[in-house]
Structures are given as structure tokens and as C-alpha cells.
Amino acid sequence: MGEMSGTDLLLEFVFEGGLNLKGVINRIHAPLIVEEIKFKLPIEGRTAFMQGVMKITLGISKGNVKPTKDVKKADIAYQPLGDSLDIYLNDTQTFSQVNVLGRITSDEMELEALTKIRRGSSVTIQLAK
């Protein structure tokens, strides 16, 4: 994975049912959003999987910083409209603008396992150990 910089925040997404994903978000992309997420950790959220996107409600209510509609597979993005942290399973164009914060570092099989998570099940976002 190489050297982590001081602006990287290593996260772990612990899903109900045992799936555990690791990811990294970076302050460079959106300092205020990343700081807010860091401040609120661990975050208990609910999951909703729709059209190749795992959405986790955050409750931070931030606006757009570097909005884009272009996301790549494994990207982690903050979506102001739904106040959610979104994990993408495909390269896609988003419906509303999002702020890409980082990416999932777990392998592809684990990423694909998101499709099996029941809607409304709980997830905890915490600092990776």
C-alpha cells in the first residue's frame, strides 16, 4: 500500500453480519468534511444499497467542496444531498454531485460482498486499528 501521508485517515467499515472493509480518506480532497467525519468517529450508521452504491447516513450536513459526478469503483464519496458516505461498486456518473474523499483498500471480493448487506442493517465506521 506504500507510505501513508499525514493527511490520510484510515477507516474500517464494520457491517452487521461480519463484513469488514478498510478504506482511506484524505483531507486534501475536502478538509472540513474529513475533519468532521474524524471528529464524529466512531459513526453508527444505517446501510442502503442502491444501484451499485452502498450509502451510509452520516448526519454531518456539509455542503459540496470539490463537487463531481464522476466516480470510480471503490471510491468513497460524501453526498451532501443525502448526507451520506457512499461506496461505489462501479465506475459511474452520480445523479447529484458528490465529493470524492478516498477509496476502499480491501480487495474486490470484499467490495462485492456489499451487495449482500441487508438494507437498513447497521454499520460502524471507525478508525482502523
- Residue 35 belongs to a domain with what CATH number? 2.40.100.20
Cis peptide before 42 (omega within 30 of 0): yes
DSSP category for residue 117: S
Share of the chain above pLDDT 90, in %: 74
Q: Which domain holds residue 96?
A: 8-127
pLDDT digit string, tens, across residues 40-86: 999 999 999 998 999 999 988 888 778 899 999 999 999 998 899 99
Residue 49 covered by a domain: yes
Q: Say which residues have a Cβ less than 8 Å from residue 16's Cβ, sequence separation at least 6.
A: 47, 117, 118, 121, 122, 123
Mean pLDDT of the chain: 91
120 grid coordinates: 437498513
The pLDDT score that the predictor gives to residue 4 is 58
59 grid coordinates: 448526519
Residue 99 covered by a domain: yes
Residue 2 covered by a domain: no
Count up the domains in the chain and report the number: 1
Q: What does the alpha-carbon distance between residue 12 and residue 6 come to, in Å, rounded to a whole number?
A: 17
